[in-house]
Amino acid sequence: MGNKKKVPDQTLIRLSYYLRAINYFLDEKKEIISSKDFAKFLRISPHQLRKDLSYFGQFGRKGVGYSLVFLKNQIQTILGLDRTWKACIVGFGNLAKAISFYKGFREQGIDIKAGFDIDKKRQKDYGILKVFPLKKMSTIIKQENIKIGIITVPKEEAQKIAERLILYGVKAILNFAPLKLNLPGEVIIKDVDLSCQLACLTHYLKNI
Amino acid sequence: MGNKKKVPDQTLIRLSYYLRAINYFLDEKKEIISSKDFAKFLRISPHQLRKDLSYFGQFGRKGVGYSLVFLKNQIQTILGLDRTWKACIVGFGNLAKAISFYKGFREQGIDIKAGFDIDKKRQKDYGILKVFPLKKMSTIIKQENIKIGIITVPKEEAQKIAERLILYGVKAILNFAPLKLNLPGEVIIKDVDLSCQLACLTHYLKNI
DNA sequence: TCCTGTGAAATCTTTCACAGCT
DNA sequence: AGCTGTGAAAGATTTCACAGGA
């Protein structure tokens, strides 16, 4: 049994890639897959796939493979995606729009309930979600019991916004502002810096 | 001297975070910084900072610290950001707009020269860049000698677009489409899947 | 004394090899 | 025979400890 061994962070990240691949296989009407074929599809080693899963339990059948429907359920449970999480997004520019209107989040069980922006022109009902002025943050986050905040404001505002989100009850933050937020340890922070991603590419390009 | 030892991938990623922090310190009129203060700011260990830098050379002064201007130059050179790279972006939706209009890329030396989209309504001159129909890809990529492609099309189109980019001379791809591209080994690919980032957050949230 | 640079130790992650079920 | 699950080996990364320059 996959008991109290520490699970590598990388394993969790791969798990969500596995989930995406499972959905693809299910669309293709597959029902069972071996770690060999699964891994080949993702261009990783079958050992790694099996090891990753073994941290959490025994999900396959020896001599057979993995039931895709069952595995999907298990991974969703591991990642906490067997329920719906409510999120809000602060700073409703192009990036926020791209995120809010992307179906992938809702499919994964993350429901972006509300947007917030200081700019009056952006405060409107987009159908799938409504964008409010910042002063509504407290009320709506508490009312809806929102636990996830997505920050897409300019870097000058980000720290202040993060502090307010936490004050109102948010427990996890996905931060797109290009700076390191200074927040209490119990808050879960994930930084995504698009320009740092590109900067790594150029290092490798240099040597071509 | 930081000779032929293999540099961890994580080191390169951190290097671009270091660069961002250096710019912040320079704005604050700092000139010299010790690994201790630098690391504290980024909430990593000073050992790690020094080790990361030591892969590439000796950039500090014993008993003193690092000159920020000098260090900035060195890291820019390591990452290949001491020159300008030309890039293009395919699929000009909200995400592409967010990326194209974000100043951070240009500051880092990455110049997004052109956009491409099938939708006529999106094909226009946005001042900072022009968006063309897909059939212009070949001409413009070759003419401008573009080496970096950014893919922000729906996942159904992504593989086809990636193949075309490479055919026309692109050597590195930043892929935002939620699938694993199947491309020859010599192409540098960086996948950024926003929904996978969030899925990791929920795993930790579950246990709160 | 203060701080860097780096070999060596400790830790973490991936890969391997094979026992054991179908 | 085919495939999973997992302890152990191999490999990679991070942390430590201290030599040596300012």
CATH at residue A51: 1.10.10.10
Q: Is the pLDDT of residue A128 over 60?
A: yes
Is B174 in the A-facing interface, judged by CB distances under 8 Å? yes
Residue B2 has what pLDDT?
A: 31
pTM of the model: 0.93
User: A5 falls in which pLDDT band (50, 70, 90)?
Assistant: low
For residues A31 and A94, state if they share a domain: no
For residues B108 and B55, state if they share a domain: no
Q: Do B194 and A102 touch (CB under 8 A)?
A: yes
Q: Is the pLDDT of residue A172 over 60?
A: yes
Task: Output b/e per residue, A25-62; b: 16+ Cβ within 10 A.
Answer: beeeeeebbebeebbeeeebeeeebbebbebbeebbee
CA distance A35 to chain B (A): 17
Q: What angle do CA A172, B20, A195 make, to 5 degrees?
A: 70
Specify whether the CB–CB gap between B145 and B162 falls below 8 A: no
For residues B159 and B132, state if they share a domain: yes
Q: From CA B57, how far away is CA B53, in angstroms rounded?
A: 7
Nearest to A116 by CA among A156, A89, A87, A145: A89
For residues A90 and A56, state if they share a domain: no
Q: Is the pLDDT of residue B103 over 80?
A: yes
Q: Give pLDDT tens digits for A40-63.
A: 999 999 999 999 999 999 999 999
For residues B40 and B98, state if they share a domain: no
Best of A74, A97, A196 to substitute, by most chain B Cβ atoms within 10 angstroms, is A196
For residues B161 and B98, state if they share a domain: yes
Q: Which residue has the higher pLDDT, B203 or A146?
A: A146
Q: Do B195 and A101 touch (CB under 8 A)?
A: no
For residues A146 and A187, state if they share a domain: yes
Domain-terminating residue out of B23, B48, B78: B78
Q: Give the nearest chain A residue to B198 (CA atoms).
A: A174
Residue B5 has what pLDDT?
A: 62
Size of chain A in residues: 208
In a domain, B109, yes or no: yes
B9: nearest nucleotide, CA–C1' criterion:
D13
Average pLDDT value for residue range B46-69:
98
Residue A1 has what pLDDT?
A: 31
Residue A185 has what pLDDT?
A: 84
Total domains in chain B come to 2
- Name all protein residues with C-beta less than 7 A from any atom of nucleic acid chain D: A 1-2, 33-36, 46-47, 50-51, 53-54, 58-66; B 6, 8-11, 44-45, 47-48, 50-51, 61-64
For residues A95 and A181, state if they share a domain: yes
- B-chain CB neighbours of A105 within 8 Å are 194-195, 198
In a domain, B26, yes or no: yes
For residues B92 and B63, state if they share a domain: no
For residue A33, the enclosing domain spans 9-78
- A-chain CB neighbours of B199 within 8 Å are 15-16, 19, 79, 81, 108, 110
Q: Give pLDDT tens digits for A53-97.
A: 999 999 999 999 999 999 999 999 999 999 999 999 999 999 999
Of the partner residues A42, A179, A202, the one whose CB lies closest to the CB of residue B85: A202
Q: Which residue has the higher pLDDT, B3 or A98?
A: A98
Q: Give the nearest chain B residue to A95 (CA atoms).
A: B98
Q: Is the pLDDT of residue A171 over 70?
A: yes
Q: From CA A198, how far away is CA A2, in angstroms rounded?
A: 37
In a domain, B1, yes or no: no
Domain-terminating residue out of B78, B99, B128: B78
Q: Give pLDDT tens digits for B172-185.
A: 999 999 999 999 88
Q: Give pLDDT tens digits for B13-43.
A: 999 999 999 999 999 999 999 999 999 999 9
User: B196 falls in which pLDDT band (50, 70, 90)?
Assistant: confident
* Residues with Cβ within 8 Å of residue B41, at least 6 apart in sequence: A180, B21
Residue A2 has what pLDDT?
A: 31
Q: Is the pLDDT of residue B4 over 60?
A: no
- A-chain CB neighbours of B27 within 8 Å are none
- Helix, strand, coil percentages for chain B (3-state, nearest 5): 50, 15, 35
In a domain, A202, yes or no: no
For residues B191 and B89, state if they share a domain: yes
